[in-house]
Structure 1
Amino acid sequence: MRAQSLFARRLRRYYFWYTGSFIAFVALLAVGEQFGMSAGVIGHVFLFATIAIYAGIGVMSRTADVSEYYVAGRRVPAVFNGMATAADWMSAASYIGLAGTLYFSGFEGLAFVTGWTGGFVLVALLLAPYLRKFGQYTIPDFLGARYQGNVARVVGLIATVLASFVYLVAQIYGVGLITSRFVSVEFEIGLFVGLASILVCSFLGGMRAVTWTQVAQYVILIIAYLVPVTILSYKVTGVPVAPVMYGTVLGQLSEKEEELFTDPAEIEVRRQFAHRANDYAAKIAHLPDSLDAARRALIERLNQLRLENAPAREIAHTERALRDLPRTTEQARAVWERARTEAIERSRIPPRHAQAHPGDTPEKRDISRNNFLALVFVLMVGTAALPHILMRYYTTPGVVEARKSVFWSLFFILLLYVTAPAYAVFAKWEVYNNLIGSSIAMLPNWLASWGKVGMVAIEDINGDGVLQLAELSLNTDVILLATPEIAGLPYVITGLVAAGGLAAALSTADGLLLTISNALSHDFYYKVINPSASTQRRLVISKSQLLVVAVVAAWVASLRPDNILFMVGLAFSIAAAAFFPALVLGIFWKRANRPGAVAGMLAGPAVTLYYVVRTHPFFGGSMDHAWFDINPISSGVFGVPLGFLTIVLVSLITRPPPAEIRNLVDFVRYPRLPADDPGLHTESKLPPT
């Protein structure tokens, strides 16, 4: 106990000096900017300095000890585990995507805040202390012991890899987005620059290195998140307390929305986008003749331009249009359907920021409310079932510390989540007041900079040379990253925000990558294929799997599959459907058995993935196939109840689990057996019956 206390005091001293040094580093760069340091240099310094910090911690934390590699020696104090969990949790979706979602969705975006924070209540009440008392290393470990063998373990392993991989791709995508923008390299190169930092931490020291790196990353990301919005709050309201003051600005924003949405020029622009959507619908209806007609028209236009010696720019534009024209009927259908959907979105008046469950009819308002509740449910349950989050509670010294670390996790996450709504309101206020209505020829440079990486698009559809709201297309993920530039803040703040975004993406990517590689090496190779493998061989297998998974995830991310928030939402739905019923019933219902758990862990994710494929445009689906008009991001709302029902029904019609399994449930559930029973720390034994 005394050694643990000394260890905690030493950690507090180290990270106090680290935090002070980072603040001094930012101040030094701010002074350098005043003396003429260029934006490019500031961006490079922020990026490579922070990556060097994380790599340094990874090198210093390298280990060949199995317990240190998998669970950081089970000696992480509650406060620091809370910081590491918060960094592990606040991924690119929370850091980059949440403010943008609240910007576009307003009240509806609060489903993410409510669901994600509510999930930690479920973690504290239903899972964390019991999994910590069970011990071992991974979630499939618990499933294998509770449900008697390798069948449940392997099914849990597959679900772990699937959910974590989807989540991992989203984080690496965020890394590529940040590095490509702030270091001016190709997106694909930016992916592998960030990947190098991820690998140094997780490859050398496993959970030990990842834990201490994530604490350092939390310090950077929370400073990076709070500083810009605090300055912006002072600029707009005169008071530097954003969570308190944004309500005043929200009232003014509502008045501005009324002015913009009723502007005749804005109405005309949206009418033209509606016509475009109808044109695309007609083209889709008349395929393949419409594709042939479009190709002939472009060829004739190009020939005419060449005969008339038209300007080179006009000829090049027509050549590019011909080159980009879909080549097959199927490709044309997909491309034109996406274009039609985008035109429909631009033709609609956005929801008012403060309006709850928007819709122009009672039926649409009901659909909006149902989607809000479904998303809250999926995010809560998904949070309580994410393997890379639950693994963090294996690293604490005991059950009490596990409970405390959930509290600290919520506290550190709270600092960001109460600020995200303020970010959205202040950013929207700046865009509506200082950007909309401006001359397109005189727009600020940040629009062109983000346009180069495909995050911003402007189309003067009515040709009046003035930017209307419908003519501006902003990617959800750009709102936070571009807020300092939108508000005209010093570039050092922009670099700081990018460093925070990188910290958020890297911290979660580290945890996810380690979760996948540990599941493959520990749960598949060691537990299923070669139980007699030596410690050294197990670590070699884990590190080799880590490299393979990292490269594959980077390759998938380079395809830019979708926005970050949807990919993360899909990972939550998969994890919720696969794990939550099996874990909760495994802890609280002795009658749950192996056939029931396996059936439930297969049925839940199966219906979840089926629904996503049927309804999401990326997979060729359509909301015409939706059940109860639920959006694909909330597909887990169907998989979780099915998982519970399947486990209960199959368990009741099959043989009950044996006495030793019922005793395991008692051991995990009740404090009468010591939390640090030595039987838990040997991988071949269950607790004594």
Structure 2
Amino acid sequence: MQWEGKSFIENLPRIYGVYTGGFVLFFILMAVFEKFGMSAEMIGILFLAFTLAIYAFIGILSRTMAVEAYYVAGRSVPPVFNGMATAADWMSGASFVAMAGGIFMSGYPYMAFIVGWTGGYILVATLMAPYLRKFGCYTVPDFIGTRYGGKFARLCGVLVLVVASFTYVTAQITATGTIAARAFQIPFEVGVWLGLFGILLCSMLGGMRAVTWTQVAQYIVLIVAYLIPIFWMSNKQGLGFFPQIEYGPAVARIMELETQLGVGTPPAETVAGLKALTALHATPVGGWLPAWQFVTLVFCMMVGTASLPHILMRYFTTPSVRDARQSVAWSLLFIFLLYFSAPCLATLSKLQMLDPNLPTSIIGASIDQVMSLSWIEKWGNINLLAIRDSNADGILQINEFFLNPDIIVLATPEIAGLPYVISGLVAAGGMAAAMSTADGLLLAMANALSHDLYYKIIDPKAETRKRLLTARILLLVIGAAGAGVASLKLTGILGAVAWAFCFAMSGLFFPLVLGVWWKRANRPGAIAGMLGGLGAGWWYLLAVRNPEAWYGLAQPWIGLDHLRFGVVGVTASLIFMIVVTLLTAAPDEETQRMVDEVRIPSGDTIIPSKV
């Protein structure tokens, strides 16, 4: 089968309909095997192996040596399918694996991630996607280099892209390592390399074309895997058929239990890398500072969303500007399905663990009894969960149970006592989410380095084969570096993702937005905005994280901690860009006419397609 051409595009609904039917049949087959005694470990392995084989098969079939197919999928992806691919690209390990875990452990404040990530697509739709598509570039640095002119501006764009995307990809490889470690009962440090192998299978041969069609397949897996446990738990808890709008009684019950169980009591001891449940679930902390931190985190996630190169690149793949705009709407719909469900999943999972009226409750039970549970033992074996009898009474108290928040979604089927086939499904969904985003990030970095650095700056006469070979080698090198950093466990998944958003917004948001909406913006201003914003943001992150250093800050500025350093970076970027632009010469008339033309939602692409 050729994964291109008019007949292929017309048959996409049928192709993915068959794929979905096959996946459902595989799920049913695994459920039957579980009934006949197949081990939980084997079911998990088969789920991961089956889905990885499908993704690799699509990636191999999509192999190409055509420049436009490799960089922008031939600009032929229909809006609905690009929306699904973008949703998969976007709903990373942070969204699938870590977000519900953050809400589970930290409660209301983590809703800021959902509000910000969803709201960011409004900025993408209104300020970015259609206009970047009309420009006709291959990468985000390609837009910067063409709009502002000069090799140094392009190089600055590559620098910001690599810093933000590399930070982000380490979080995705961390998620794949967590899943592989649990499924195969191997050390996390080995799991990250196994996850990287699966990621590279999908992207190396076919570039953006391969990544696009695997991401559509991955979206189907991840959304099914995320929703089924929610509906299953809702049915067991008697909450109705639409738990996303009917889980209010579960929230009220948790708030009642928090008082009884002493949630908020600090643990008597600590466990490295793990946390005890001390935050209230649905009660906002009073005062101006928590409210300010909520708003600033929403701001960072919104602006960061509109600055992420691997997301903006997805809208370069549609046939037209109109399709790019429609694609954003479809993306938002497909993303909404998961984000609307994440707080519900966190709530139902927590209730399964806390409520003594449910058979799965562990708080208040005998520690010996809890330690004998299969899921406690297996997550404990890979050091992602621990129990400490701090008061030596033999009963598990709320502040004696420690876990890594990133395991909540993956462990929920076991926590809720669901059949293990659901656990295998969720593991496959989590792997799909992390892989789809990692593919997009690695491709964004490799394409920027091969196209914008190697081809546009170092060797403009390079042949097509040499350019694409360079991109594939870079995929391997960057992926290996990301796996190496992920194995060090420098921060959690959500923390690394927040840093990536802050890096992206610090260096790219205003050079991109003003490049479209302010024709007076010029090359010196854009360079100052990128370097000044990235530098200021990076300094603030280091200063907050190292208060004892000579450059450190004893206290964050007005509550802007390490998750919010993008506020400092993007403010500096705006100031630097406006001041330097106004102090230097305006762009030439041709550039200003080009910017005027970009903002017209119809007409020809500014830069003609290249082959």
> TM exceeds 0.5?
yes
Could you report, residue by residue, the CA deviation over 1:33-89 in whole angstroms, capped at 9, with x for unpaired residues?
011111111011011111101000001100010000000000000000000000000
Question: 1:163 & 1:648 partners in 2: Cα distance?
Answer: 23
Task: Give the alignment partner of residue 381 of structure 1, picking from 298, 303, 313.
Answer: 303
Gaps of 5+ in 2: 356-360
Question: 2:601 & 2:323 partners in 1: Cα distance?
Answer: 14
| Counterpart residue number, 2:451 | 522
Contact preservation (8 Å) 1:614, 1:625:
no
SS of the equivalent of 2:396 reads coil
> Is 1:351 matched with 2:279?
yes
Question: 1:448 & 1:41 partners in 2: Cα distance?
Answer: 17
Question: 1:676 & 1:619 partners in 2: Cα distance?
Answer: 53
SS of the equivalent of 2:11 reads helix
| Counterpart residue number, 1:184 | 185
Contact preservation (8 Å) 2:548, 2:554:
no
Could you report, residue by residue, the CA deviation over 1:281-320 in whole angstroms, capped at 9, with x for unpaired residues?
xxxxxxxxxxxxxxxxxxxxxxxxxxxxxxxxxxxxxxxx
Per-residue deviation at 1:591? 1.0
Letter in 2 for 1:80: F
| Counterpart residue number, 1:680 | 608
> Is 1:552 matched with 2:474?
no
| Counterpart residue number, 1:286 | none
Contact preservation (8 Å) 2:99, 2:342:
yes
SS of the equivalent of 1:36 reads coil
Could you report, residue by residue, the CA deviation over 1:390-433 in whole angstroms, capped at 9, with x for unpaired residues?
00000000000000000000000011011101011111111212
SS of the equivalent of 2:205 reads helix
Contact preservation (8 Å) 1:91, 1:504:
yes
| Counterpart residue number, 1:104 | 105
Per-residue deviation at 1:616? 2.8
Per-residue deviation at 1:160? 0.5
SS of the equivalent of 1:351 reads coil
> Is 1:484 matched with 2:413?
yes
Aligned CA distance change for structure 1 residues 638 and 447 (closer, same or farther; 3 Å): same
The structure where helix makes up a greater share of residues is 1
> Is 1:495 matched with 2:424?
yes
| Counterpart residue number, 2:366 | 439
Aligned CA distance change for structure 1 residues 57 and 374 (closer, same or farther; 3 Å): same
SS of the equivalent of 1:181 reads helix
| Counterpart residue number, 2:256 | 255
SS of the equivalent of 1:494 reads helix
Contact preservation (8 Å) 1:55, 1:200:
yes
Q: For residues 198-213 of structure 1, what are the structure 2 equivalents within 5 Å?
A: 198-213=199-214
Contact preservation (8 Å) 1:188, 1:558:
yes
| Counterpart residue number, 1:661 | 591
Contact preservation (8 Å) 1:233, 1:245:
no
> Is 1:573 matched with 2:502?
yes
Per-residue deviation at 1:681? 2.1
Question: 1:619 & 1:124 partners in 2: Cα distance?
Answer: 43
Question: 1:675 & 1:432 partners in 2: Cα distance?
Answer: 60
Per-residue deviation at 1:9? 3.2
Q: For residues 136-175 of structure 1, what are the structure 2 equivalents within 5 Å?
A: 136-175=137-176
SS of the equivalent of 1:232 reads helix
Contact preservation (8 Å) 2:318, 2:324:
yes
Letter in 2 for 1:451: G
Contact preservation (8 Å) 2:547, 2:553:
no
Task: Give the alignment partner of residue 555 of structure 2, picking from 625, 637, 649.
Answer: 625
Contact preservation (8 Å) 1:237, 1:245:
no
Letter in 1 for 2:365: S
Per-residue deviation at 1:238? 4.8
Question: 1:4 & 1:369 partners in 2: Cα distance?
Answer: 52
Letter in 1 for 2:183: F
> Is 1:597 matched with 2:598?
no
TM-score for both structures, normalised by structure 2: 0.95
Aligned CA distance change for structure 1 residues 76 and 158 (closer, same or farther; 3 Å): same
SS of the equivalent of 1:633 reads coil
Contact preservation (8 Å) 1:231, 1:240:
no
Could you report, residue by residue, the CA deviation over 1:364-384 in whole angstroms, capped at 9, with x for unpaired residues?
x21111110110000000000
SS of the equivalent of 2:393 reads coil
Per-residue deviation at 1:435? 1.1
SS of the equivalent of 2:137 reads coil
SS of the equivalent of 2:110 reads helix
Question: 1:619 & 1:423 partners in 2: Cα distance?
Answer: 40
Question: 1:247 & 1:192 partners in 2: Cα distance?
Answer: 41
SS of the equivalent of 2:386 reads strand
Question: 1:28 & 1:432 partners in 2: Cα distance?
Answer: 33
Question: 1:617 & 1:638 partners in 2: Cα distance?
Answer: 17
Question: 1:192 & 1:566 partners in 2: Cα distance?
Answer: 21
Question: 1:65 & 1:480 partners in 2: Cα distance?
Answer: 40
Per-residue deviation at 1:447? 1.5
Q: For residues 455-474 of structure 1, what are the structure 2 equivalents within 5 Å?
A: 455-474=384-403
Per-residue deviation at 1:466? 0.8
Contact preservation (8 Å) 2:322, 2:601:
no
Contact preservation (8 Å) 1:398, 1:675:
no
SS of the equivalent of 1:634 reads coil
Q: For residues 259-408 of structure 1, what are the structure 2 equivalents within 5 Å?
A: 259-261=260-262, 270=266, 273=268, 350-356=278-284, 358-359=285-286, 365-408=287-330
SS of the equivalent of 1:208 reads helix
Letter in 2 for 1:557: A
Contact preservation (8 Å) 2:185, 2:382:
no
> Is 1:416 matched with 2:338?
yes
Structure number with greater Rg is 1
Letter in 1 for 2:209: R
Question: 2:539 & 2:545 partners in 1: Cα distance?
Answer: 10
Question: 1:623 & 1:556 partners in 2: Cα distance?
Answer: 26
Per-residue deviation at 1:617? 6.6
Contact preservation (8 Å) 1:72, 1:208:
yes
Letter in 2 for 1:225: Y
| Counterpart residue number, 1:11 | 12
Per-residue deviation at 1:682? 4.5
Letter in 1 for 2:366: S
| Counterpart residue number, 1:304 | none
The number of aligned residues is 600
SS of the equivalent of 1:640 reads helix
| Counterpart residue number, 2:64 | 63
Question: 2:453 & 2:145 partners in 1: Cα distance?
Answer: 11
**615-624 or 398-407, which moves further after superposition?**
615-624
| Counterpart residue number, 1:651 | 581
> Is 1:586 matched with 2:515?
yes
Instruction: Give the alignment's Cα RMSD to 1 decimal.
Output: 2.0
Gaps of 5+ in 1: 278-337, 360-364, 684-689
Could you report, residue by residue, the CA deviation over 1:658-678 in whole angstroms, capped at 9, with x for unpaired residues?
112101201211246x2346x
Letter in 1 for 2:444: T
Question: 1:536 & 1:631 partners in 2: Cα distance?
Answer: 46
